Structure 1
Amino acid sequence: MLLLPLLLAACAQTPEVTAPAPTATTAATNPAPQTGTELLSRYHWQLTNAIDSNGTHIDALFARPDRPVQLDFSPYRITVVNSCNNMGAGYTVRKGHLQIGPMVSTMMACQDPSLAALDDAISQRVRGSVTVNLLARDNAPSLQLVTDSGDTLSFTGVPTAETRYGGPGQIAFLEVAPQSVPCNNPLMPNAQCLLVRERFFDEQGLASGAPGPWQPLNQTIEGYTHTPGIRNVVRVKRFTLKNPPADGPATAYVLDLIVESEKVGQ
């Protein structure tokens, strides 16, 4: 079982930000554009195209067609998602350039050679100083990174849960039982629901207090796929819906992290 820290401390100072000037089209549809770091942190940036200085497609960056490389930005940190290893680095945005610090990565062996090559291809390009072009469109903002060697990486923005639900949400921990249970769901006859109970942890990431009661969760957890026979403790973000449907839940749960995972015998 693996228990990760609850919080990631940030000690860097607020970066100086200079966002690229909006085009006429952008200004017309977005009369009050956000600053660069605000826009970066409001989206998951999924890689859609990558070419080198000769115009050749960089195949190594597309080892997982169904799970594209994704960049997530917090105010001080960039995280690479859908690589083999977990990867991240500190960053600032200064005068049209993304300044990326040393990339920190887990050391998990990638048995698939294409995934090992994917990690190398990412770490070679998401580092140092890269030119950043950020265009804010209403439906799908775009991000373009150009490395010193002339490689161009193009990303499309997918709204984060905070953007979709209009707020930061509340952090909660749920223990998910190995087996689902029958439950009442007005939208799904004969429904099977996750059986969950709330868990509590202190600032050091240690379990504290008594768990809540077991009860069916009559809705899904966005981003979570349950495997029968596996007990998980998950960290979720819980959002209050501003306009919930009449026959639906008033909250939404979004997976943030799998904290513990254990195979339970039948």
Structure 2
Amino acid sequence: MKNMTTLAMAATLAVGTLAGCQTTPGVTAPTAQPLTVDALEAYNWQLVDAKHVNGEKVTQLFTMPNNPLTLNFFKDNGNQRVSFMNTCNNIGGTYHIVNNNVQLGNVISTMKACPEPQASFDTATMATVQGKYSLNKNANNVPILTIRNDNQVAHFKAVAK
């Protein structure tokens, strides 16, 4: 009987120890969210960070701090559209979500002869919006849209429309 009590106590201690060792997401860990039309269209998405794969900032996207690149997803006559705000040219197109990723289609732009640094901003915008999209929430529960491609990673925070 003493062995059974000792064994029960050891088992209880082991289970308690294992339960105490479980990892829980820290407050700084992003929480993955499903990428849906409703989630994208609920906010405007304002660029907060963009870095090349070597860790260097994509400086062309930060020449106008008061007018950051902002993505606006919306419906227009039943079509899913996106516009890239604060660019010199008007740039936008259609989009669809396929396999939990945004696929852009028919992106069009006006053809103004934009001065620098706006011309480089427009070029960097097109390079930034092409890639794998994912949606997370940061430690402050703010939705963050991330776009990754072979050359860079960009993060956009949700901003009320």
Same fold (TM over 0.5): yes
Alignment deviations for residues 196-239 of structure 1 (CA, whole Å, 9 cap, x no partner): xxxxxxxxxxxxxxxxxxxxxxxxxxxxxxxxxxxxxxxxxxxx
Alignment deviations for residues 81-129 of structure 1 (CA, whole Å, 9 cap, x no partner): 0011110011111223221113201122212x110000011112323xx
For the pair 1:120 / 2:104, whether they are aligned, the reply is no
**Aligned length, in residue pairs:** 129
Indicate conservation of the 8 Å contact 1:78/1:88, yes or no.
Answer: yes
Distance 1:47 1:39 in 2: 17
1:155 is matched with 156
1:142 is matched with 144
Distance 1:159 1:34 in 2: 19
1:203 is matched with none
For the pair 1:106 / 2:107, whether they are aligned, the reply is no
**Paired residue type of 2:156:** F
**Paired residue type of 1:41:** E
3-state secondary structure, aligned to 1:46 = strand
Matches within 5 A, 1:1-266: 36-75=36-75, 76-111=80-115, 113-127=116-130, 130-136=131-137, 140-147=142-149, 149-160=150-161
Structure 1 41/108 Cα, relative in aligned 2: closer, same or farther at 3 Å?
A: same
Indicate conservation of the 8 Å contact 1:77/1:88, yes or no.
Answer: yes
Distance 1:83 1:121 in 2: 10
Indicate conservation of the 8 Å contact 2:60/2:120, yes or no.
Answer: yes
Distance 1:53 1:34 in 2: 25
- Tell me the percent identity: 30
3-state secondary structure, aligned to 1:74 = strand
**Paired residue type of 1:141:** P
TM-score by length of structure 2 reads: 0.71
TM-score by length of structure 1 reads: 0.44
Alignment deviations for residues 227-266 of structure 1 (CA, whole Å, 9 cap, x no partner): xxxxxxxxxxxxxxxxxxxxxxxxxxxxxxxxxxxxxxxx
- Higher percent of residues as helix: 2
3-state secondary structure, aligned to 1:39 = helix
2:11 is matched with none
Any stretches of 5+ residues in structure 2 without a counterpart? 1-23
Any stretches of 5+ residues in structure 1 without a counterpart? 1-22, 161-266
Indicate conservation of the 8 Å contact 2:95/2:104, yes or no.
Answer: yes
1:54 to partner: Cα distance:
1.0
Bigger radius of gyration: 2
**Paired residue type of 1:78:** V
